[in-house]
Structures are given as C-alpha cells and as structure tokens.
C-alpha cells in the first residue's frame, strides 16, 4: 500500500500552484530542453538570473530558487544522471536527486512538491527502473519526515504514467 501523501498526475508541471516544483536541470543550471526549458519559459528571465548566481549543481544534488512568474512559489533544481548502462552509479545518483530535493523542501518548510520523471527524457534512464527509484526513495523519505504533505509525480507520457501507476 503506497503512502497517501503520494499522487500521480499527467500534464504540465509548470501549471501547478503549489509550494515547489522540481526541475530536471543540467549541471550548468542555465536552462535547456525538456522540462527545464518549459520551466524557464514559464518562470521568465528572472529565473535564469537567479540560476546564474548558483554556480551550477552536481548530479544528484539540488538547489532552490524562487518561482517568479510560475504559479509555484519555488523551483528546486536537481540534476539527474545520464544513463550509461547502470554501472556508473546511476541508481544512487537518481535516488539522491529525490532525497536531496525533498530535504530542501523540509529545510524551507515547503509542504506541497511535484517531481517530473527525472532523467527519463534526454538522459535516457530506463523508465520502469526510474519510476521504482522515484517512488521507493520518496516513500522512504516520507516515513521519516512528517512535514511534507503531498508529493505529486507529474508525467508526460503513457509509458511513464503506466510505470508509476503500477507502483502507487
Ligand atoms: P532529463 O534530461 O532529466 O532526462 P527531460 O526534461 O529531457 O529531463 O525529461 C524528463 C521528463 O520530463 C520526460 O519524461 C519529459 O517528457 C518530461 N517533461 C517534459 N516537459 C514536461 C512538463 N512541462 N511537465 C512535466 N513533465 C515534462
């Protein structure tokens, strides 16, 4: 039985009026394609200006900015692993993305947070494995932390939706 604080939705993460959305960013934190591009477009140029002050982000780590023109108050930027066969620490790095993003939410007293399917686009992480890491890592974190009220996984394809659906 999965945690009642976990939810699954299809759609565009940039539309959510919640405390924080997570960005699947790259190490430069200067914008990019996919969900990163969508978040920067919706947030406006002030987001890039704040990101430029952060000096990048390592894979598995996370950094927070304001949300600017987004309906979400904050953006937590994390950098997923690029899939290269699974022997380069990709599972641990992906789990760290979820854990470190959630820890930033707790530190900033943020209660509602949404994740995209980190690394499941250009970074080519196998979907079923990535979904399991997302759900397991988040569930484990919530068992130890009561301040976060809702974590929504927002996905954009049928395949990814089905992978999460089986786990939730
Ligand atoms: P990564 O480089 O970490 O693989 P991508 O942005 O390429 O990140 O893809 C991550 C996932 O986010 C993909 O499944 C992609 O389809 C999805 N995605 C793209 N745009 C959005 C959006 N606006 N809202 C939610 N998910 C999105």
Q: In the CATH hierarchy, which top-level class contains the domain 6-167?
A: alpha beta
Token look-up 């200006």 returns 49
* pLDDT one-digit tens code per residue, 6-63: 999 999 999 999 999 999 999 999 999 999 999 999 999 999 999 999 999 999 999 9
Distance 11 CA to ligand 1 centre (A): 11
pLDDT at 2: 81
CA distances from 47 to 25, 44, 51, 114, 119 (A): 13, 6, 6, 18, 21
pTM of the model: 0.98
Enumerate the domain spans of the chain. Answer: 6-167
Beta strand extents in 45-168 (DSSP E only): 62-66, 74-79, 112-115, 150-155
Which residues are catalytically annotated?
36
Q: How far apart are CA 5 and CA 111, in angstroms?
A: 10
Burial class (CB in 10 A: 0-12, 13-18, 19+), 1: exposed
Say how many residues make up the chain: 168
Return the best residue to mutate from 96, 133, 156, 158 for the ligand 1 pocket (most ligand atoms within 8 A of CB).
Answer: 156
* Per-residue model confidence (pLDDT) at position 9: 98
Question: Which atom of ligand 1 is nearest the CA belonging to 80?
Answer: 3
Q: Is the pLDDT of residue 168 over 80?
A: yes
CA 50 to chain centre: 18
> Whose CA is closest to atom 18 on ligand 1?
35
Sequence-ordered list of residues with C-beta below 8 angstroms from that of 167, at least 6 positions apart, any chain: 2, 131, 132, 135
Residues 6+ away with beta carbon under 8 Å from 82? 90, 119, 123, 124
């Amino acid at each position: 039985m999965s945690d009642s604080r976990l939810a699954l939705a299809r759609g565009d993460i940039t539309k959510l009026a919640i405390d924080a959305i997570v960005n699947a960013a790259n190490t430069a934190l200067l914008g990019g394609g996919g969900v990163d591009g969508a978040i920067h477009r919706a947030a406006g140029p002030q987001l890039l200006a704040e990101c430029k002050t952060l000096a990048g982000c390592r894979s598995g780590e996370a950094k927070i900015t304001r949300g600017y023109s987004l309906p979400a108050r904050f953006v937590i930027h994390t950098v997923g692993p690029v899939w290269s066969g699974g022997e380069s620490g990709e599972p641990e790095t992906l789990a760290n993305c979820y854990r470190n993003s959630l820890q930033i939410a707790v530190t900033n007293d943020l209660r509602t947070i949404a994740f995209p399917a980190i690394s499941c686009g250009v970074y080519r992480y196998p979907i079923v494995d990535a979904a399991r890491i997302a759900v397991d890592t988040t569930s484990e974190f919530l068992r130890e932390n009561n301040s976060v009220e809702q974590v929504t996984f927002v996905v954009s394809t049928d395949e990814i939706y089905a992978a999460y659906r089986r786990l939730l």
